[in-house]
Amino acid sequence: MAVVLENTINCVWLAFESLQQDKSGFVHKSKLKVLTANIGTLLDLYGVERGLEHFRSTSVLNFDQFKYYLQKEVFASLPKTLQHQEIRVYENKIAEVCWLICRKKYLPRDGRILSEDSVFQIFRIFCVLAELVVDHNNDNVYQVLLHPSEVCNIAQNISSSLGCKFDEEDFSNLSVSMGNFRLAPFIAVLESRYLIEIKDEVALTEAIYDVYQKIVEDVIKKGFLSKKGYIFPTMKEYWFVLRPTELAYYTGRSEKDRKGSLPIEPGCKVEPKAGYRILLHSSERTFEFGTSDHMSRLQWVSALQLASEHSGKHESYQRLQAVKRRLQRQGRIQEMIRAKFQLQQERNARQAAEGHAKELEVVVKEEAKRLIELEELRAKLERLLEEETQAKRDEEIVRGLQARVLAEEWEKREELERLQEEQRVLLEEERQKRKEYEELQREKEAQLKCAEERLSQLEKERLHLDRQLKIANQQMKYTENRKEILENKLYPIVGEKVRRAHSFMPSTKEKPVVFEVRSSTLKRS
Mean pLDDT, the chain cut into blocks of 10 residues (525 residues total): 82 90 85 89 85 87 90 84 81 91 77 81 92 84 89 87 82 84 87 78 88 90 90 88 91 89 88 89 88 92 90 79 86 85 88 89 90 92 91 91 90 91 92 91 91 92 92 91 87 72 55 43 38
| CATH architecture for segment(s) 1-106 | Orthogonal Bundle (1.10)
pLDDT at residue number 509: 45
Determine phi and psi for 257, rounding to 5 degrees.
Answer: -100, 95
Contact by Cβ (8 Å): 111, 191: yes
**Euclidean distance between CA atoms 346 and 351, whole angstroms:** 8
Contact by Cβ (8 Å): 1, 79: yes
pLDDT at residue number 508: 44
- The model's pTM: 0.63
Q: 287: exposed, middle or buried (C-beta count within 10 Å: 0-12, 13-18, 19+)?
A: middle
pLDDT at residue number 199: 77
The residue extents of the domains of the chain are 1-106, 115-218, 219-315
CATH of domain 219-315: 2.30.29.30
Strand pairing category for 60-62 and 235-242: unpaired
CA 195 to chain centre: 25
**Euclidean distance between CA atoms 368 and 374, whole angstroms:** 10
